Amino acid sequence: MDLNALVDFHLVATHGGFGRASRASRRSKATLSRRVADLEEQLGVRLIERGGKGLELTQAGELLLGRTEGPMHEVVEALAAAREGSGRISGRLRIAAPILFSQLAMGRLAAGFQALHPEVTLEVVAEDRLVDLVEERFDVAIRPNPRPDTALVGRCFARDRLVVVAAPSVPMPPPGEAPQPVPVPAIVHTFREGDTWALDDGRLTLAPRPVLQLSSLLMVRDAALAGAGVARVPQSIAWRQIASGELVRWGGLAGHEVALWVLHTSRRLASPKVKAFVDFMAAQYEDGVLTLPG
């Protein structure tokens, strides 16, 4: 079997068509079509049908894609590593990272990594959605509290937690006096009716009454700095204001710890550039605590 034909079949199948695969790989549609046709000829089955709504995989095509997707990705990575040279840290590194982390940290981190490894070209895409590393051709993803996924491996490089903060002008209710949640004016990022904020020392539970709902956690923090109410924010973006006294930390939230992971796809064949980036990220937060500038 022609391995290149199988690679091209995967390219067309994961991109959902010859045109998209051509644009992603910068190879002609005619070449991709010929390679897939050659593979179909070798196997003696039809793998792809062009339906009214575009390209569709046949049952045989779906079976071939499902059975070979993981192994093929590792083979492609191995071939890329071989081309780059054993242990050589070079090539293009495509990274998906959460928007807030990207805005506050990834510019500095990307510059630091590139200074250490000048033969690597980084592309960082700020995305809060869960990207598909294989289909969208990302090498690495940074994710908070990732779900268990047998296809992804990596390392936890830092931890964060949610804290309740307010400006000094906002009075904190005396702890332990009220058996019921205490209503407070709140600046919220997301809100569900009936939400309560239980502080981790167990002495006080708050019933947030939204006065502002903002789509950015930085806006939530800044509105708290302006005295608009109480806010629930990651400690990583408020530690500097807490240290300066601009914000008062009322307490942490029980059960709201966040682990930030750097993830990739291959268990055994991670390329030198991916391994180097994982090690680099772990070295940036040696105490394991996430702190962000600004």
Query: Going residue by residue through the chain (294 aa), what tens digit of pLDDT does each one get?
Result: 567 788 888 788 888 788 888 887 777 888 888 888 888 888 888 888 865 556 788 888 888 887 777 666 666 666 665 655 556 788 899 999 999 999 999 999 999 999 999 999 999 999 888 888 877 889 999 999 988 765 788 899 999 999 999 999 999 988 765 568 899 999 999 888 888 999 888 788 999 999 999 999 999 999 999 999 999 999 999 999 999 999 999 999 877 888 999 999 866 567 889 999 999 999 998 788 888 876
Identify the CATH number of the domain in which residue 58 sits: 1.10.10.10
**Domain span at 198:** 161-258
Same domain, 178 and 254: yes
Q: In this predicted structure, what is the pLDDT of residue 232?
A: 95
- Taking each helix axis as running N to C, give the angle between helix 217-225 and helix 235-244, from 0 to 180 degrees, rounded to the nearest 10: 20
Q: Structural domain tally of the chain?
A: 3
Same domain, 267 and 280: yes
* Cα–Cα nearest to 157, from 138, 142, 139, 173: 142
CB 219 within 8 A of CB 246: no
pTM: 0.66
Residue 273 lies in a domain: yes
Residue 185 lies in a domain: yes
Residue 21 lies in a domain: yes
Q: In this predicted structure, what is the pLDDT of residue 247?
A: 97
Residue 184 lies in a domain: yes
Q: What is the DSSP string of 72-122?
A: HHHHHHHHHHHHH-TT---EEEEEEE-HHHIIIIIHHHHHHHHHH-TTEEE
Distances (CA, A) of 79 to 13, 190, 242, 247: 20, 45, 50, 52
Tokens representing residue 220 in the block: 């939530």
Q: In this predicted structure, what is the pLDDT of residue 211?
A: 96
Q: In this predicted structure, what is the pLDDT of residue 81?
A: 59
- How many beta carbons lie within 10 A of that of residue 222, not counting itself? 16
Q: What's the Rg (C-alpha) of the chain?
A: 25
Q: In this predicted structure, what is the pLDDT of residue 116?
A: 95
Question: Which residues neighbour 35 within 8 Å (Cβ) at sequence distance 6 or greater?
Answer: 2, 4, 5, 8, 9
Identify the CATH number of the domain in which residue 165 sits: 3.40.190.10
C-alpha–C-alpha distance, residues 207 and 197, integer Å? 6
Same domain, 149 and 167: no
Residue 20 lies in a domain: yes
Conformational region of residue 265, where left means phi above 0, alpha means psi within -120 to 50, and beta covers everything else:
alpha
C-alpha–C-alpha distance, residues 203 and 201, integer Å? 6
Residue 110 lies in a domain: yes
